[in-house]
């Protein structure tokens, strides 16, 4: 084999390996014989505009604020009428991955770590401020929620933690200083025995957070993995408590978590051959 041919073969092998370990499409290596420890109690099929829903939060018991990961728009979706009631444009097209509401303000997370603060988001006189963080595109920020009790936001990274190869950090954005704190508020240990049924050649793929939120009743921290569907629950102190493996046919790509004040859990899924949806879930 000539040096040129050998170089081509090596290049192809390298490209295949890169695709295998880094491409952002769903595939499953988890065991398939697990028992479903949850019940889907209600389902909303979403309109085409929300086909790539990537974050959501409750405005009130009937209305959901949501984003999809290509447009700088906050959508207000009514769960009762099953219609989009309002569209709030806050920025240019981009890869938006998280949404959190804090009083009259909305916060939207872009995958490169930029946080958009949309003040008075439900009015015609919104004010948008961008906040830079130390999270970059290579880390792939995907999860965002409001931690009302501690006056902060929580942000998760999907691909690589800025500080460690053994954990995926959940970082706190202080709403008073408007800064992302360097030390993670919580950390997901990728070698935790709770992941014993999760088999990966690449340790960083054991848990790839797509969203984070806090149960308002228990204080527990919920994290979804959209690439290989699962739901991780941490105690209020950050200790691993329970891992739910989710069936691909019911959770194609779980990207959003929201809670009602009574603790009812809602998970959103990006669309594929079926429409995107929001599911009301009861965990067993």
Residue with tokens 């569209």: 87
Residue 68: exposed, middle, or buried by beta-carbon count in 10 A (0-12, 13-18, 19+)?
Answer: buried
Q: Which of 29-33, 53-57, 69-73, 201-205 has the lowest mean pLDDT?
A: 29-33
Reported as a pLDDT band with limits 50, 70 and 90, residue 43 is very high
**pLDDT at 266 exceeding the cut of 60:** yes
Average pLDDT over the chain reads 90
Q: Is 246 exposed, middle or buried (0-12, 13-18, 19+ CB in 10 A)?
A: buried
Domain membership of residue 190 (yes or no) is yes
Question: How many other β-carbons are positioned within 10 Å of the β-carbon of residue 220?
Answer: 17
CATH number of 127's domain: 2.120.10.30
Helices (H), ranges, the chain? 3-22
The answer to whether position 14 is within a domain reads no
In a domain, 31, yes or no: no
In the chain, the number of structural domains is 1
- Evaluate if residue 237 carries a pLDDT over 50: yes
Among 200, 188, 208, 203, residue whose Cα is nearest residue 139? 208
Quick check: is 24 in a domain? no
Band of residue 30 on the pLDDT scale cut at 50, 70, 90:
low
- Give the model's pLDDT for residue 208: 96
Report yes or no on 118 lying in a domain.
yes
Statement: residue 20 has pLDDT above 60: no
Which residue segment(s) compose the domain that 68 sits in?
37-283
């Amino acid at each position: 084999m000539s040096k040129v041919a050998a170089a081509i073969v090596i290049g192809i092998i390298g490209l295949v390996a890169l695709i295998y370990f880094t491409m952002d499409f769903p595939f499953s290596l988890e065991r398939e014989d697990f028992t479903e420890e949850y019940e889907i109690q209600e389902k909303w099929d979403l309109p085409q505009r929300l086909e790539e829903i990537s974050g959501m939060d409750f405005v009130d018991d009937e209305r959901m604020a949501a984003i999809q990961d290509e447009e700088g728009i906050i959508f207000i979706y009514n769960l009762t009428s099953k219609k989009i009631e309002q569209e709030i444009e806050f920025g240019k097209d981009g890869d938006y991955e998280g949404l959190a509401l804090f009083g009259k303000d909305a916060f939207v997370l872009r995958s490169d770590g930029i946080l958009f603060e949309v003040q008075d988001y439900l009015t015609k006189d919104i004010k948008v401020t961008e906040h830079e963080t130390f999270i970059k595109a290579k880390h792939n920020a995907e999860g965002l929620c409001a931690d009302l009790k501690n006056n902060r936001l929580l942000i998760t990274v999907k691909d690589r933690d800025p500080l460690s190869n053994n954990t995926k950090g959940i970082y706190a954005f202080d709403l008073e200083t408007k800064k992302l704190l360097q030390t993670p508020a919580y950390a997901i240990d990728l070698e935790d025995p709770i992941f014993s049924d999760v088999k990966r050649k690449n340790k960083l793929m054991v848990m790839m957070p797509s969203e984070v939120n806090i149960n308002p009743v228990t204080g527990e921290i919920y994290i979804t993995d959209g690439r290989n569907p699962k739901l991780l629950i941490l105690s209020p102190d950050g200790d691993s408590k329970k891992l739910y493996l989710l069936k691909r046919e019911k959770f194609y790509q779980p990207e959003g978590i929201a809670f009602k004040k009574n603790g009812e859990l809602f998970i959103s899924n990006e669309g594929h051959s079926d429409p995107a949806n929001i599911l009301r879930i009861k965990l067993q």
